[in-house]
Chains A and B, each alone.
Chain A
Amino acid sequence: MTFSITLTVNGTPHHLALDDLRVTLLDLLRDRLGLTGTKKGCDRGQCGACTVLVNGRRLNACLALAAQQDGAEITTIEGLAPEGRLHPLQAAFLEHDAFQCGYCTPGQIMSAAGLIAEGADGADIERIREGMSGNLCRCGAYRGIARAVAAAAQSENGETEA
């Protein structure tokens, strides 16, 4: 028996028939919609590489069943900024050398977008480090990540960049 859902992904509505109800949001994004920017690092919600925004909140896409997301608005790394432009977070990651191999980066950026939207303490670096601790970076670019998130949070709050 197939089950149909509607997802709006990066502003585009998709009507999707699921013949396997066990498919995760992550596999659906990567395999069905070809949005491979969202990464699979552990498939168990322990590394954060698959973080996307669902209705504006950050979520590990590997732990979410696609079938449960009917009607949701999903934002992935591909849809964070208009084509050809960088979101302030993306620009801040570049400016602060916030990654090396790039594999965890989409998840870091989407997690940071969610964190900033949560609005807790804005640009406090210790709060950011704690708030980003669900996203592993084996290259160890944590200083750059924290600084990039702080800079983006400050600019979003209308403050000047440090």
Chain B
Amino acid sequence: MSENGIGKPVKRREDRRFLTGRGRYTDDLRMENQAYAAFVRSPHAHARVSGIDAAAALEQEGVIRVLTGPELVADGIGNIITGWAITSKDGAPMKVGDWSALATDRVRYVGDAVAVVIAETRQGARNAAELVEVSYEELPAVARGDRALQPGAPQLHDVAPGNLVFDWEIGDAAATDAALAAAATVVELSLENNRLAPNAMEPRSAVAVHDPAEDHYTLYTTSQNPHVARLVLSAFYQVAPEHKLRVVAPDVGGGFGSKIYIYPEEITCLWAAMKTGRSVKWTSERNEAFMTDAHGRDHVTTARMGFDEGGRITGFKVETIANLGAYCSLFATATPTYLYATLLSGQYDIPAIHANVKAAYSNTVPVDAYRGAGRPEATYLVERMMTTAARQMGMEEAELRRRNFIQSFPHQTPVIMCYDAGDFPGNLDKAMAAADVAGFPARRAEAAARGMLRGLGYSCYIEACGIAPSKAVGALGAGVGLWESAEMRVNPVGTIEILTGSHSHGQGHETTFAQIVADRFGVPIESISILHGDTDKVQFGMGTYGSRSGAVGMSAIVRAMDKVEAKVRRIAAHLLDGAPEDIVIEDGQARLPGTNRSLAWHEIGLAAYTAHDLPEGMEPGLKETAFYDPVNFTFPAGTYICEVEVDPQTGVVRIVQFTAADDFGTVINPMIVEGQVHGGVAQGIGQALLEQVVYDEAGQLLTGSYMDYCMPRADDVPFYTITHNATVCPGNPLGMKGCGEAGAIGSPPAVINAVTDAIGTNDLSMPATPMKVWQALAGARAPAAAE
């Protein structure tokens, strides 16, 4: 077993360049002949564009070109696509409105791009963009999803009457209605899942290079999935054919979902590079990021859950309106359907579930997957419902959950998912012990003596990761397969390169991916390098999102290692005069047990490449590629317990203890996994207490900077207690489940359940700001979000 192998808290190998300022992010790159792009953006939420006058901008020194939507369309650049087809319950296909990278005749949200200025300097481009005169005829706007679906609402797309993208359902409506009608107790809950801005610290950026001699394009960009970007840019936007387009995602400063999508700016930069003969760079400003990066969440939900006299759930009915914004972004339609409603069974054995999801267009930036993507919305609903039900029925929260836990596996839920493994009572027990729930009444009394209100909240989350079996998602409407690829190259000197289709933007792949190779072959971790993020180097890949890089990306590496090992065995058996199945590979060598014969790793590499003495018929070289398609989703699950103190004088909530008990299956590097949980919980606490994107009635964005949008800071998040309870995932070779999103998925209901426990009222919406908490305490109704 290698000291840098599976399960070891190996320090991150990529850290040195980041610590010394030598990371290479997109905006750090400088091309020859580089010009800068600045976008002219709509100040209106909804308007007709009746004219663009660029004369004054073009007169500015250093302005190279001003380009507009009609020119883009005339050059055959295609509309922006959405990648998952959803069918409404009446059988009708979803209604997708046209989305051109630069608006042609109409703008539908504040920030919608209308034109682009290309200039010699960044500042020059910005100044000139201010001088482009766009004539707008303002139209009425609607910002909320529920209002957009009401009769008489302003209409966004002719193709989508009533602003309805789809009206989709899952589960058995009749069985659920019958269960609720027969239930001893029916618990009702209405809630909103607040709209969030992803806010990766690195703003989006793109540098497009066109080589006219070869008619070849290169795009350096902040992408979580460069191969998908190349595919979409080629096949749908017709910017360049795939073999003439290289996409590089160098160091990327966080994604959280927002860098999955192919945005108007990247398309425009590539096109502008061709039009101007210059390399074109664009880097988002933070206020542009608030306006144009895909937002997350934004659901309005009403739900009813039925219980029998013993507190067993009999049925669960859910009605959700999802606000998709002005256009359908790449994964936008999958997020509130197959990533949301399929998790509504939570950790519980529920005989009947029915969910109806209506998706609405509105005059806001498109909404898409953000850390967790649908699963936080499901968990927030299910776990607030369980707590609400326990309060209504006068039961202990933990006992109500325990009574309904799924106990045997595999378990087929009524909403597609088949859970393969888990230990839900075990997670709850671990969390309750670590959080010292037994001591809570004394702590609450002590706090009360100080005039503080102390509360305890649970969340037993489950999510689906390892996205996803290609055949299954294809049948559900996905436009792509969701496998992953890997190539393992053993060089003649024995060093190893792993080329992966996953992309690391903070996850530490350069460390964990090397760990599984070091573990398998016993070679020094220093002899292994991990290559990713360049379509010219890596064979192909679907990228990193949905906590898939472990369960799917590393599984592909395992498959490539299987193939390499098989060849190593044959070479070693041939040279050591044994049988391939008898060869033992460990400590960086292949040896034949019962003899003193062995080959060092570099000797095997050399033998493969010199090919002087290989088994009859064997091809030279030692390099294997594998494409791994998962057999099922994976199901990380756990219990989070949050303990808060509320100051009744001010409404300020302080998290005094946060306990996580997660089951992620096999853990490759516990230090990195803890970091992922910390980060996810920080974002979940942000959603619960601090963050909300606000548009006013006219569709103006009111939260366009960090002064208006409250991000979690160092003094906002507590130190957490983290424990693990591993049940091995049977679906992939390493037994991994995924850990990247759990914190963001599981934590918001734990926080809100704790705050409502402290203040003694269940009626509280996220973010639970001091004002809202104070108003709830005062018995006043808090104003609804975004009103």
Contacts and interface: CB of A to CB of B under 8 A. Distances in A.
Interface of A: 20, 22, 27, 30-31, 34-44, 46-47, 49, 76-78, 80-81, 86, 90, 93-95, 97, 99-106, 109, 126, 128-130, 132-146
Contact of B714 (A37, A39, A80, A142): A142
B185 to A, nearest CB: 39
A86 B11 CA distance: 15
Interface of B: 11-12, 14-23, 25, 27-28, 30, 122-123, 198-203, 251-254, 256, 283, 285-286, 505-508, 671-672, 674-676, 678-683, 705-707, 711-717, 719-720, 743
Interface core residue of B21, B23, B254, B680 (most chain A CB under 10 Å): B21
Given A42-B286, A46-B706, A136-B201, A97 B675 contact: yes
Contacts of A93: 15, 19
B21 A129 contact: no
A34 B16 CA distance: 19
A100 to B, nearest CB: 4
A94 B15 contact: yes
Given A36-B28, A47-B201, A47-B706, A95 B11 contact: yes
A103 B202 contact: yes
B597 to A, nearest CB: 42
Interface-centre pick from B27, B252, B285, B678 (highest chain A CB count, 10 A): B678
B514 to A, nearest CB: 16
A133 B252 CA distance: 23
B128 to A, nearest CB: 15
A70 B201 CA distance: 30
Contacts of B716: 133
Nearest to A95: B11
B201 A140 contact: no
B27 A100 contact: no
Contacts of A142: 678, 682, 712-714, 717
Nearest to A49: B201
B706 A42 contact: yes
Q: Is the interface of B mostly helix, strand, loop or mixed?
A: loop
5 contacts: A44-B705, A90-B20, A100-B676, A102-B23, A138-B711
A43 B256 CA distance: 21
B506 A129 contact: no
A134 B711 CA distance: 11
B12 A97 contact: yes
B23 A103 contact: yes
Contacts of A80: 20
B39 to A, nearest CB: 16
Contacts of A37: 20-23
Contacts of B507: 100
Given A36-B28, A135-B714, A106 B21 contact: yes
Contacts of A22: 123
A105 B679 contact: no
A100 B16 contact: no
Given A35-B21, A103-B23, A106-B21, A138 B256 contact: yes
Nearest to B124: A20
Given A20-B123, A97-B12, A133 B714 contact: yes
A49 to B, nearest CB: 6
Given A138-B256, A139-B254, A140-B678, A97 B286 contact: no
